[in-house]
């Protein structure tokens, strides 16, 4: 529904109550649907080892994180990407099954079994799912790592404009988190840049470029926008892959130093299951990432950023406190724990506050 909305991050370190909730962003929105495939479960597909014929069904988890219903019908397609281009091509890919859905309410999810037939080119080949609202399709490899393919034409994703942001922000908005395609798609990118650069002095700004090369038509423009935002950002979370795109041909260590010199107080560098590197005014240090059984890495980076902010804001910490390693280190450690737990789950499903209390 149109109106004012507060996005809340909920998590816990085991010391706060399960009802911990911190408002970090406030905006108005129009009633727009936004269909996405969250996960594909191929465990119930049976492949004949001789003929490579398929039977059974694929479990497709759909979601509509938009603010309006997805008025159907729409079609969910399970397919084998035979031309290996990371997208569904009706003329070249093998359709293994289709299922028509009548519609999906705003904020709803749907577990959908899609019967499969036909055959694959080889046993164990990846199975994809596509929903024809044209959004992001996550492909998981055998380690749970995700590769994203974005279908953006005609979607509501880029539609946030300046008219959708209250000015000024309400006093309870203590942090702003921007990044990913929010730095690329227009008019959303310009809107979010203005929001972050115009933030009040007491508002913490966290930037996560979370670069998606396949959905970034102009990498040079993205680099320029990140540099402008870095001058106001207090915390920047980047992956090694982000550094490679933002600083092409520059060694990782030098890229971190150059990014820190742009203005933020802390750079948090993730690298999959390897140590998280922290480069900050408080000094440089590394923190270990626990070994977990990875099911799905989708959403781990977002969980990391949200958990960091919940820890920081939930303890009444502000921009100046980022200079204190005693405060900074446990916040990053908590972010690591939440991201690691997210990797143990299928789909973008970070743990709830109650779950983190139980895990502590």
pLDDT in tens, 272-289: 888 999 999 888 999 999
Contact, 184 vs 224, CB < 8 A? no
Highest mean pLDDT among 158-167, 306-315, 350-359: 306-315
How much is the pTM? 0.61
- pLDDT interval class at 17 (50, 70, 90): very low
Residues 77, 282: Cα–Cα separation, whole Å: 50
pLDDT in tens, 181-238: 788 888 888 989 999 999 999 999 999 998 877 677 788 999 999 999 999 999 999 9
Residues 97, 77: Cα–Cα separation, whole Å: 6
- Which carries the bigger pLDDT value, residue 325 or residue 212? 325
CA atoms within 13 A on the CB side of 268: 29
CATH superfamily of 3-30+157-359: Ribokinase (3.40.1190.20)
Cβ-proximal residues to 107 (8 Å cutoff; 6+ apart), any chain: 64, 65
Q: Which residue has the tokens 């929105």?
A: 29
Q: Which CATH architecture has domain 36-150?
A: Sandwich (2.60)
- pLDDT interval class at 100 (50, 70, 90): confident
Percent of the chain, pLDDT > 70? 75
Nearest residue to 145 via CA among 302, 290, 272, 38: 272
Query: Residue 246: which H helix or E strand, with range?
Result: helix 240-246
pLDDT in tens, 114-166: 998 888 877 666 777 777 543 444 444 444 444 444 445 555 556 677 776 77
- pLDDT interval class at 320 (50, 70, 90): very high
Percent of the chain, pLDDT > 90? 31
- Which carries the bigger pLDDT value, residue 16 or residue 131? 131
Average pLDDT, the chain: 78
Structure tokens at 77: 């397609």
Residues 29, 131: Cα–Cα separation, whole Å: 23
Nearest residue to 181 via CA among 154, 204, 148, 133: 148
Residues 100, 303: Cα–Cα separation, whole Å: 32
Q: Which residue has the tokens 């990053």?
A: 332
Bridge partners of 114? 58
Backbone angles phi, psi at 284, to 5 degrees: -105, 135
Q: What is the pLDDT of residue 288?
A: 94
Cβ-proximal residues to 247 (8 Å cutoff; 6+ apart), any chain: 254, 255, 258, 259
CA 1 to chain centre: 24
Residues 146, 144: Cα–Cα separation, whole Å: 6
- pLDDT interval class at 32 (50, 70, 90): very low
Contact, 122 vs 52, CB < 8 A? yes
Q: Where are the domains of the chain?
A: 3-30+157-359, 36-150
């Amino acid at each position: 529904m149109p109106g004012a909305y507060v996005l809340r991050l909920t998590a816990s370190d085991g010391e706060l109550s399960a009802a911990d909730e911190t408002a970090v962003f406030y905006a108005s929105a129009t009633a727009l649907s936004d269909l996405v495939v969250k996960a594909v479960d191929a465990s119930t597909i049976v492949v004949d080892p001789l003929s490579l014929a398929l039977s059974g069904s694929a479990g497709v988890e759909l979601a509509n994180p938009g603010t309006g219903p997805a008025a159907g019908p729409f079609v969910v397609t399970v397919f084998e990407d035979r031309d290996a281009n990371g997208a569904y091509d009706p003329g070249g890919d093998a359709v293994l099954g289709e299922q028509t859905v009548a519609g999906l309410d705003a904020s709803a999810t749907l577990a959908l079994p899609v019967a499969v037939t036909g055959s694959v080119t080889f046993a164990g080949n990846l199975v994809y799912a596509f929903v024809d609202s044209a959004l992001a399709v996550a492909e998981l490899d055998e380690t749970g790592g995700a590769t994203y393919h974005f279908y953006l034409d005609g979607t509501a994703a880029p539609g946030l404009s300046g008219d959708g942001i209250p000015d000024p922000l309400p006093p309870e908005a203590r942090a702003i988190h921007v990044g990913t395609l929010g730095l690329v798609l227009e008019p959303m990118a310009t809107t979010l840049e203005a929001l972050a650069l115009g933030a009040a002095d007491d508002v913490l700004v966290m930037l996560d470029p979370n670069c998606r090369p396949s959905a970034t038509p102009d990498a040079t423009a993205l680099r320029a926008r990140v540099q402008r935002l870095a001058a106001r950002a207090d915390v920047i979370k980047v992956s090694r892959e982000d550094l490679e795109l933002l600083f092409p041909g520059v060694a990782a260590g030098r890229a971190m130093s150059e990014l820190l010199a742009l203005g933020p107080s802390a750079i948090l560098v993730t690298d999959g299951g390897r140590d998280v590197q922290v480069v900050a005014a408080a000094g440089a240090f590394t923190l270990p990432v626990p070994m977990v059984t990875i099911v799905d890495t989708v959403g781990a980076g977002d969980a990391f950023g949200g958990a960091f902010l919940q820890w920081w804001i939930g303890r009444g910490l502000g921009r100046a406190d980022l200079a204190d390693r005693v405060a900074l280190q446990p916040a990053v450690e908590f972010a690591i724990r939440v991201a690691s737990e997210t990797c143990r789950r299928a789909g973008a499903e970070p743990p709830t506050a109650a779950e983190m209390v139980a895990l502590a």
